[in-house]
Amino acid sequence: MNNIKSNIQNLTSLWQTVSKPFNSYFIETNFKYSLIENSEWPNRLWLNQEINKDVITLVKEKLLSISTNLTIPYWDIYNSDSFKILEQNGFILKFEQTGMSLKSSQIFTELKGLSLHKVSTKKEAKLWSILFSKSFGYFTNPELLIKSQKNTNYYIAYDQNIAVGTGILHTTGNVSGIHSVGIIPQQRQKGYAEQIMKLLINQSIKIDSDFITLQSSDMGKGLYLKLGFEEQFTIKNYALQHRV
């Protein structure tokens, strides 16, 4: 259970880190949320406890009071069907992810040619945003990277001098979280995702992280299992129906 909590803490810490420079991270009694204008990411609202009807009423009131759509992650860690309260109150499931973790140990052999370049300039932040949008289908404001790059690491993956994808490495305590590993459509099916993952895992080991965490789509799960990650829990991501 501690690894699960560390996984969730790393993920929510990333959202907080990105939002705080914009004064866009908010704390309510029962939930927290990140709301950044002119960006589709992160824009999340997450609860401090298991869902109940009273809390969902408050969540709906908050969502109806703002103009930006927020995704509501439900951590399936309570051994209950409390997520059904969301579905009974006008929320629809957008997508699911699997929380996974890996105990740091093995340094992978790195293929020659592919490299990770840490974003440090406005030009690089803009390129990262373009690559991210092509990979994932939604927009991230480059200013997010500029204002949060001191507290998290954004990477562009290059094969020789060709930019092929993105990645994020975000550290909380002894945990490194790998996020936003994406390959632009024209560069897929070439093994880049696996190599980016190996480079990020190696980087995590080099900075003495005890565990590495991520949140996987169904499409990526096979690769992560191959690399040694273990499945821990499910994340169901919801949105209020009238805003979808």
**Domains along the chain with CATH numbers:** 2-97+235-243 (3.40.630), 114-233 (3.40.630.30)
pLDDT for 156 beyond 90: yes
pLDDT for 159 beyond 80: yes
C-beta separation of 28 from 58 below 8 A: yes
pLDDT of residue 106: 82
C-beta separation of 217 from 95 below 8 A: yes
Question: Which residue from 224, 143, 135, 146 is spatially nearest to 180, judged by alpha carbons?
Answer: 135
Backbone φ, ψ for residue 198 (5° rounding): -65, -40
Instruction: Assign 110 a pLDDT band (cuts: 50, 70, 90).
Output: confident
The pLDDT tens digits of the residues spanning 195-204 come to: 999 999 999 9
pLDDT of residue 1: 59
pLDDT of residue 146: 95
CB-based contacts of 210, cutoff 8 Å, min separation 6: 103, 104, 174, 175
In the chain, the amino acid numbered 32 is: K
Q: What is the mean pLDDT of residues 135-147?
A: 94
Burial class (CB in 10 A: 0-12, 13-18, 19+), 98: buried
In terms of pTM, does the model score above 0.85?
A: yes
Share of the chain above pLDDT 90, in %: 89
Share of the chain above pLDDT 70, in %: 98
